[in-house]
Chain A
């Protein structure tokens, strides 16, 4: 499943990933979404479907921490495998990957750690939902809402009102997207949307002439296009996506922080499983 989703995303948005600012933003958003989707589906039903068994085992002396730890280990292996598959599929489809490393010295390893952390964070959130939900139906009903929250509040992809911006800190997609953009050196990439939009107006006539078309012909003849794209990008750089190890460390810390929070919350919730009504 992870391979199919990665393949679809690579096919649809992989062309300009880590090549242009717009392609990178869209692509990293899509990669974050794949991770959240994979993470959610890994564990959304694992606890709620055997809730009664957990209750029985808890009565017989099962420690909830051991139970959650067992799930954490299994899910970690699953998430590592999914992250590796996603990267393998992207590389097989000749998608451009980050070429410079910020943390480990190996850009692909940095990239995979980010993908793993986002997937694992979403996985643990789904594990928490699964711990709270009494039935699989409830868990599967809550999941789409959580998915929408993760997508809408990813921060940099959709323009949100100011009062909603603090909520973006709650989502794994925001930290995943930010880390991936930083690793792909987003701020050094050209911006093409302004040029492309202006190009659409080249046939506009003023007093029987096409001054914009003339200007484009002049710029392309003199090889000014790339320079203009870079100049446009310079005006649209985002300090949050700076090619800086501090940015990546910060994003990873947030992802790990949320993962730990979800795990602790799941343990606390399950400690009260004996209170379930018959």
Chain B
């Protein structure tokens, strides 16, 4: 038994020495190398696999705790069997998660994938080699994510009583005891009657931005719609903001009419008379061309019709600010074009329509403005441009929205990785405009 304990201690010391140096290379504080549980989490940070790190932390805590308790319990005790089950299953799960983490660590260090066998069989020695040998250099450092990132504008735009004014300083969240900045320094005025395209690569913070401007997830910001502050007057404004999610979140076994009637009950003020509510349902059905299918089950509708029902559900409250997250996903070009023309009509009625789409070029002519968001080197969502569609082509020196996306997207997803350059260029441009 003592031999086994000795072996574990030696392996732990070797791994600690290895991690101490490895953490230095990866920009993580070295002392975490000697603290059980925290060490596993920080290895995951080095591998840029934070989510796996959280799982690993939990599993290693269960493992170490059950191992420790097991040492002090008589092996003939029935409880020791339960402890053993905990210890064994957490160890097994740990091995699987560790393999995933080390696999990514190998990628970060750009080394041969066969190293995974070494990590699996001789974890302590392998970590020591990776820590001590100078040739092992990571392509990514954890401390690269800290700091301020690209230049900021830091100046609010003045409130526009005829539109939406956004002055967002930052949107942060606490994640596993760490504060993360998801969005930073976004300022703009969107006049009523404008249809705006929200463009950005995956993870740029588009949905976070929309959630912040609708007041659903509050940010350090002042956002006004007309004369009302969205955050301070949230209860008053809740029916004046419509958000259509990407998926068609509708009960398939309800009829179209019943779906809209339910939506009207939820989204219209509770003192709305029932006659008025039903009249609104009929009017929206007419407006979205759904009258012919009013008694059909949602499950029996085509993709385009279902999408129109999903939009109509939010439009039932006649919102001034109407936001749609990829309304054209899964629709063919003709149906998508027809849907966007409907949205254009809504904007022409004096509403603000903001749309996320991943195929913008087929409908680019229908938009007034474009907002371009990027993820900077600190993984914070930043604004790279806000202006008319024509101005955006000039600003990015491209002739299509896809061209703009390509130039701002990070290199690891096939882009040019020039996002931050445009953040700074836009900040300079705005400073000139704002003064």
| Among B78, B207, B238, B245, contact of A56 (Cβ-Cβ < 8 Å) | B245
Chain B interface: which of A13-21, A59-67, A173-181? Answer: A59-67
Q: Determine whether A52 belongs to the interface, using a CB cutoff of 8 Å to chain B.
A: yes
CB pair A61–B249 under 8 Å, yes or no, is no
CB pair A56–B267 under 8 Å, yes or no, is no
- Tell me the smallest distance from the CB of B62 to a CB of chain A, in Å: 18
Q: Which residue of B is nearest A51, CB measured?
A: B249
Q: Which residues of A contact B250 (CB under 8 A)?
A: 53
| Among B238, B249, B267, B314, contact of A52 (Cβ-Cβ < 8 Å) | B249
Q: Which residues of A contact B245 (CB under 8 A)?
A: 52, 56
CB pair B216–A278 under 8 Å, yes or no, is no
Q: Determine whether A227 belongs to the interface, using a CB cutoff of 8 Å to chain B.
A: no
CB pair A61–B267 under 8 Å, yes or no, is yes
Binary B-proximity of A46-62 (CB < 8 A = 1, otherwise 0): 00001011011101111
CB pair A52–B247 under 8 Å, yes or no, is yes
- Tell me the smallest distance from the CB of B379 to a CB of chain A, in Å: 16
Q: Determine whether A161 belongs to the interface, using a CB cutoff of 8 Å to chain B.
A: yes
A149–B314 alpha-carbon span in the complex (Å):
44
Q: Which residue of B is nearest A161, CB measured?
A: B78
CB pair B249–A59 under 8 Å, yes or no, is no
CB pair A61–B251 under 8 Å, yes or no, is no
Binary B-proximity of A131-152 (CB < 8 A = 1, otherwise 0): 0000000000000000000000
A60/B251 contact (C-beta < 8 A), A161-B78, A278-B207 known: no
Q: Which residues of B contact A53 (CB under 8 A)?
A: 249-251
CB pair A59–B267 under 8 Å, yes or no, is no
Q: Which residues of A contact B266 (CB under 8 A)?
A: 57, 60-62
CB interface residues, A 256-278, toward B, < 8 Å: 274, 278
Chain A: number of interface residues, binned into ranges: 10 to 19
Q: Determine whether B41 belongs to the interface, using a CB cutoff of 8 Å to chain A.
A: no
A59–B313 alpha-carbon span in the complex (Å):
13
A216–B238 alpha-carbon span in the complex (Å):
84
Binary A-proximity of B255-272 (CB < 8 A = 1, otherwise 0): 000000001001100000
A76–B266 alpha-carbon span in the complex (Å):
25
CB pair B249–A56 under 8 Å, yes or no, is yes
CB pair A61–B78 under 8 Å, yes or no, is no
A52–B314 alpha-carbon span in the complex (Å):
15
Q: Which residues of B contact A56 (CB under 8 A)?
A: 245, 249
Binary A-proximity of B77-119 (CB < 8 A = 1, otherwise 0): 0100000000000000000000000000000000000000000
Q: Which residues of B contact A161 (CB under 8 A)?
A: 78
- Tell me the smallest distance from the CB of A209 to a CB of chain B, in Å: 47
- Tell me the smallest distance from the CB of A205 to a CB of chain B, in Å: 43
- Tell me the smallest distance from the CB of A65 to a CB of chain B, in Å: 14
Q: Which residues of B contact A278 (CB under 8 A)?
A: 207
Q: Which residue of A is nearest B238, CB measured?
A: A61
Q: Determine whether B422 belongs to the interface, using a CB cutoff of 8 Å to chain A.
A: no
- Tell me the smallest distance from the CB of A137 to a CB of chain B, in Å: 18
CB interface residues, B 211-244, toward A, < 8 Å: 216, 238, 243
Interface centre among A50, A57, A62, A274 (most CB of B within 10 A): A57
Interface centre among B243, B245, B251 (most CB of A within 10 A): B245
A161–B81 alpha-carbon span in the complex (Å):
15
- Tell me the smallest distance from the CB of B176 to a CB of chain A, in Å: 13
A50–B250 alpha-carbon span in the complex (Å):
9
A50–B238 alpha-carbon span in the complex (Å):
23
Q: Which residues of A contact B78 (CB under 8 A)?
A: 161
A249–B216 alpha-carbon span in the complex (Å):
47
CB interface residues, B 52-79, toward A, < 8 Å: 78
A59–B325 alpha-carbon span in the complex (Å):
15
| Among B216, B247, B251, B263, contact of A59 (Cβ-Cβ < 8 Å) | B216
- Tell me the smallest distance from the CB of B329 to a CB of chain A, in Å: 14
A157–B238 alpha-carbon span in the complex (Å):
55
Q: Which residues of B contact A61 (CB under 8 A)?
A: 238, 266-267
Q: Which residue of A is nearest B314, CB measured?
A: A60
A50–B247 alpha-carbon span in the complex (Å):
12
Q: Which residues of A contact B247 (CB under 8 A)?
A: 52
A60/B249 contact (C-beta < 8 A), A161-B78, A278-B207 known: no
- 7 pairs, CB–CB < 8 Å, chain A vs chain B: A50-B251, A56-B249, A60-B266, A61-B266, A61-B267, A274-B216, A278-B207
6 closest Cβ pairs, A-B complex: A56-B249, A53-B249, A60-B266, A52-B249, A60-B267, A61-B266
A contacts, CB < 8 Å to B: 50, 52-53, 55-57, 59-62, 161, 274, 278
B contacts, CB < 8 Å to A: 78, 207, 216, 238, 243, 245, 247, 249-251, 263, 266-267, 314
Extra contacts, 5 of them, besides A60-B263, A61-B238, A61-B267 (Cβ < 8 A), are A50-B251, A53-B250, A53-B251, A55-B249, A56-B245
